[in-house]
Amino acid sequence: MTELERHPVPAAVDVEGWALAVDGAVDHPIELDRSDLESLPSVSLTDDFACEEGWVAEDLTWRGVRVDAILDRVDPVPGSEYGLVSAMDGDYACSFPLDRLRDCVLAVELDGAELGVAHGGPARLVPPADGRDCWESVKWVAGIRLLERAPTDGDTARDHALSRLD
């Protein structure tokens, strides 16, 4: 079975009119479209991506915007400590301590080309490789919601990912 057969693009993923909502415990909620994202400073990083299922995709070069640069635009309230990153495929979402989320890159390019929908385009979260779980790399990112406390529900990514393992 190929990787794309294991991880097909769900029907709920609709990239037309895509925009990223950044809201929650912030002073200035915003919505960014592709050109807004392109106007922010970008960074590149190259690493391997390993999945709990036992495969590794080597030497991937991502380009995108550090979440830090996005959060600077919304002015998180002082008590903001977590971020819940949600996706277009149903209730898939993953929470992060805010400091770690700031270090993630919201990737819009993979290996020098626009990030295709097959791999999570228009925008995919790429957390720092150190201590990263595969399900934290949220594909088809639709929202970043800042929270003052760790979410007690809605943080579904791990369950979704592990439910695919036998």
Q: Smallest gap, in angstroms, from Cβ of residue 158 to ligand MTE? A: 9
Instruction: Read off the tokens for 79.
Output: 């008590």
Contact residues for Mo ion, defined by CB under 5 A: 51-52, 134, 161
Q: Applying CB under 6 A, which residues contact ligand MTE?
A: 3, 7, 51, 87, 89, 92, 119-120, 134-135, 137-140, 160-161
CB of 78 to ligand MTE, least distance (A): 30
76 vs 108, which CB is nearer to ligand MTE? 108
What single DSSP character describes residue 34? H
Nearer to ligand MTE, 3 or 103 (CB): 3
Token pair, residue 21, equals: 């909502």
Grouping H, G, I as helix, E, B as strand and the rest as coil, residue 150 is coil
- Gap between the Cα atoms of 95 and 74, Å rounded: 18
Work out whether the CA dihedral 111, 74, 86, 81 comes out positive or negative: positive
> From the list Mo ion, ligand MTE, none, which binds 66 (C-beta under 5 to 8 Å, kind-based)?
none
> With CB cut-offs between 5 and 8 Å by kind, which of Mo ion, ligand MTE, none does residue 7 bind?
ligand MTE
State phi, psi for 91 to the nearest 5 degrees: -100, 20
Q: Which does 50 bind (CB under 5 to 8 A by kind): Mo ion, ligand MTE, none?
A: none
CB of 164 to Mo ion, least distance (A): 7
Structure tokens at 88: 């277009």
Q: Please, which residues have CB within 8 angstroms of residue 158's CB and are 6 or more apart in sequence? A: 94, 133, 135
- Cβ closer to ligand MTE: 17 or 165? 165
Smallest distance from the beta carbon of 119 to ligand MTE, in angstroms? 4
Q: Which is nearer to Mo ion, 77 or 162 (CB)?
A: 162
| Beta-carbon contacts of residue 129 (< 8 Å; ≥ 6 apart) | 47, 48
